[in-house]
Amino acid sequence: MTLPKNLLQKIYRDMIRTRTLDYQMIKNAQSGKMPCGWHSGLGEEAIVGPVSLLGKDDYVTYTHRGAYVWIAKGMEMEDIIAEFYAKSTGCAYGKGGTHIAKPSLGIFGRSGMQGGHLPLAAGMGIAAQMRGQGQVVLSFFGDGCATRAPLHEAMNYASIWKLPVVWFCENNGQSMSVKQDKTWAIKDIAQIAGSYAMPGKTIEDGNDVIAVTEAAQEFLDRARRGEGPALIEIKTYRWRGHYEGDPMLYRTKQEINEWMKRDPLKRFEQLLLAQNLITQEGMQKIQVEADTEVAKAQKFAEESPDPLPEDAFNAIYAT
């Protein structure tokens, strides 16, 4: 294991913070008081690892299941929850809703059209390459999203121009209401990397935070050296439905339970304990701090003012 101790501890803390936020947002979605729906990422938190390798100036694009990305990239809970409540204090002044954005952290929102963000990720790669300061782009997408045409355009040109983009497939084996065998003729999506002359890697155990983070490290370093894009695929699973309220007719309780036993967070916790990188008391303290942080942000969001009608046309174009 080559990852430094303080990075592992940061990843652990952010996984706890992400999960705590996720549970709160599930409650919010069920309460009927939050105007936006929620796409839970419970079970896929190993993604915190790769995002933690990015600097403030690097770019990241996320899917509709983005909590792990926003938190690991450094967003404040207030910014996120208030935006989901469409309040003026949210990161996009209540105008973005689920389309979380924080340009100062290299987060430029998302596309409601699956795959729409992938050519934008290539564009961020062009900007990074032109600046020549070693910035990289880490671009996430799901297995369902990966069937869309924009992915192939984006990968092709990123490869031709050797753009510093690491493509990252969160393969949870299912799309909105079907399993992967109804959307793909192949099992390992990283196989498509060869068609664009870039390296590709499938991490079979995508709930192994260390394996996932080390693979990302290798490809991010390569991209920073100017050697071009690469594709990582992790096999993982979302515990919740596609959205809160999904009848989940495409999967069984037994399958969900099996995957919950492979919880990335619990496994990482065991590893950190075994290596004396954390104590039971330390873990409890982190959880209490995350609970306090989320509760404070929740209160802030609920008590924040709605946007004013006269601000409707502000913050639409760059100034």
Ligand X SMILES: Cc1ncc(C[n+]2csc(CCOP(=O)(O)OP(=O)(O)O)c2C)c(N)n1
Footprint on residues 212-241 left by Mg ion (CB under 5 A): none
CA dist 29 and 189 (Å) reads 32
Tell me the residue type at 223: A
Pick what 242 binds: ligand X, Mg ion, none; C-beta below 5 to 8 Å, kind-dependent: ligand X
Applying CB under 5 A, which part among 22-30, 138-146, 211-219, 275-283 lies near Mg ion? 138-146
Footprint on residues 212-251 left by ligand X (CB under 6 A): 238, 242
Confirm or reject binding of residue 143 to Mg ion (CB under 5 A). Answer: yes
Applying CB under 6 A, which part among 45-53, 60-68, 157-165, 310-318 lies near ligand X? 60-68
* DSSP codes, 138-176: EEEEETTGGGSHHHHHHHHHHHHTT--EEEEEEE-SB-S
Applying CB under 6 A, which part among 20-28, 137-145, 197-205, 278-286 lies near ligand X? 137-145
Confirm or reject binding of residue 312 to ligand X (CB under 6 A). Answer: no
Applying CB under 6 A, which part among 82-90, 111-119, 296-304, 309-317 lies near ligand X? 111-119
Q: How far is the CB of 251 from ligand X (least distance, A)?
A: 11
- Give, for 235, the enclosing helix (H) or strand (E): strand 230-235
Judged by DSSP in three states, 93 sits in coil
Contact 264, 15 (CB under 8 A): yes
Spell out, one character per residue from 149 to 178, where the chain touches ligand X: x when CB under 6 A holds, - when not.
-----------------------x-xxx--
Q: How far is the CB of 29 from ligand X (least distance, A)?
A: 15
Contact 165, 229 (CB under 8 A): yes
Q: In this structure, are strands 137-142 and 59-61 parallel, antiparallel, or unpaired?
A: parallel
Confirm or reject binding of residue 202 to Mg ion (CB under 5 A). Answer: no
Biggest CA pair distance of the chain = 57
Q: How far is the CB of 49 from ligand X (least distance, A)?
A: 18
Confirm or reject binding of residue 142 to ligand X (CB under 6 A). Answer: yes
CA dist 96 and 36 (Å) reads 10
Cβ neighbours around 267 below 10 Å, total: 17
Tell me which DSSP letter residue 234 carries.
E
- 3-state SS of the chain: helix, strand, coil percent to 5? 50, 10, 40
Confirm or reject binding of residue 256 to ligand X (CB under 6 A). Answer: no
Interface ranges with ligand X (CB under 6 A): 63-65, 112-114, 142-145, 172, 174-176, 238, 242
